[in-house]
Amino acid sequence: MSHSNPVHEGIDRTYARFVRELPAELAAIAHDLPHRLGLTPNPGTPWSRVFNNGAVLGLPMLLLADPSRVPPEVARTAAAAHLFAIIGAFARDRIDDGQVVVGLRERAIIERLERARDAALAPLRALAPSFIRDFAWAERMTAESVAEERATAAGQEPATLERYLAVAWKKQGLAFPAALAAAAAAGLPAEAQRQVEAVAAGAALGLQYRDDVVDWEDDLVHGFAWAPAVFASASTAPASSSTLAARLHACGGLVRMLGMSSAAFGSAANAAAALGAEALATWAREQAELTAELARREADSPGFAVSWERERKARRERQQALAVAAA
């Protein structure tokens, strides 16, 4: 996805509306929130340029794009709810993990994002009274994932693949409410609603599994990484990064996780195609193919996946700087 497509434009328009409604003393800070949260080194970077994949912030825009199935107002409302939810979640996560220190004004903006998130979801819930997987449910899932991951990192629970899969799924809680509420509010058939859930799960887990591979060394520096814990016995005895990397290569752990990621993207692509969300299906297929190739390269050249991500991050930061300079 290029940074000139409607999804990225929609992300920035929606966030700009949120900023315009803030008090003056918060608006300038909110405008530069990605930089203040340490998600980009470049001040002035818009949210559409923060992540490599537009589906992170704009999933409902891609998933609910057919006006014959989902009324445009329902889709726009879901898009806003999802955007505010994901931005707020990234902010809370970085603050709670100690990755960034912020002041009272940043915290006030995050609280307003969460209120805007809930306000956007409210009319969708009103159209679907039986809908229960709201943002309160999602936050419970996220809290459980944090507690379970910390217990594993502390050695209080075993670092098994089954536990990793369960924690990884709970981490995706905030990916579901907006899209699922919109599908229910639009009166989509039960099978179509299941396909919406499959798309959200496949896209979110595909990104999660892959991130846990390409970022494993950085995650370990911050205290815990699932890949070596599950596949390289990192929790049993201290070991250097190079030793863990050798173990991961010997057992094929990173390649296996990349295969899981590719399969998840493939599931998302199939579900999106069944819904007629062709742009999203194409994106998910491309991610599945990219990740399968990444697995092949990692198998041939240990460390390739980590280097790939670092180069991709550096390239994105250069693009951000150029875009800000040109604005």
* 82-119: pLDDT as tens digits: 999 999 999 999 998 888 999 999 999 999 999 999 99
Percent of the chain, pLDDT > 90?
86
123, 264: one domain: no
Residue 213 in any domain: the answer is: yes
With contact defined as beta carbons under 8 Å apart, do 43 and 32 qualify? yes
Residue 180 in any domain: the answer is: no
Tokens 């999933």 belong to 59
Could you tell me how far CA 107 lies from the centroid of its own chain?
A: 21
Give dist(CA 116, CA 110) in Å, integer. 10
113, 144: one domain: no
117, 138: one domain: no
5, 55: one domain: yes
299 closest CA partner among 242, 248, 260: 248
123, 194: one domain: no
Give dist(CA 313, CA 177) in Å, integer. 29
Give dist(CA 190, CA 177) in Å, integer. 16
Q: Render pLDDT for 240-286 as a digit per residue (tens, 0 to 9).
A: 888 999 999 999 999 999 999 999 999 999 999 999 999 999 999 99
Residues 6+ apart with CB under 8 A from 90: 37, 39
Angle (CA) 55-60-62 rounded to 5° is: 60
Residue count of the chain, please give it: 327
pLDDT, residue 236, reads 52
At which of 99, 132, 165 does a domain end?
A: 132
Question: How many structural domains compose the chain?
Answer: 2
41, 123: one domain: yes
Average pLDDT for the chain: 94
- Given pLDDT bands bounded at 50, 70 and 90, which one contains residue 235? low
Q: Render pLDDT for 147-198 as a digit per residue (tens, 0 to 9).
A: 999 999 999 999 999 999 999 999 999 999 999 999 999 999 999 999 999 9
With contact defined as beta carbons under 8 Å apart, do 199 and 272 qualify? yes
201, 81: one domain: no
Residue 240 in any domain: the answer is: yes
- Residues 8-33, mean pLDDT to the nearest whole number: 96
How is residue 172 written in tokens?
């995706």
- Per the structure, the complete domain to which residue 244 belongs is given by 134-175+189-327
Give dist(CA 193, CA 187) in Å, integer. 9
309 closest CA partner among 288, 325, 285, 290: 290
Residue 6 in any domain: the answer is: yes
120, 155: one domain: no
At which of 67, 97, 132 does a domain end?
A: 132
144, 240: one domain: yes
Pinpoint the alpha helices (H) of the chain.
Answer: 6-20, 24-31, 33-36, 55-63, 72-96, 104-127, 135-153, 161-171, 177-185, 190-214, 216-221, 226-231, 241-251, 253-275, 278-300, 304-326
8, 120: one domain: yes
160, 30: one domain: no
Residue 162 in any domain: the answer is: yes
- Residues 15-36, mean pLDDT to the nearest whole number: 96
106, 169: one domain: no
Give dist(CA 144, CA 323) in Å, integer. 38
Could you tell me how far CA 240 lies from the centroid of its own chain?
A: 29
With contact defined as beta carbons under 8 Å apart, do 163 and 157 qualify? yes
How is residue 24 written in tokens?
């003056």
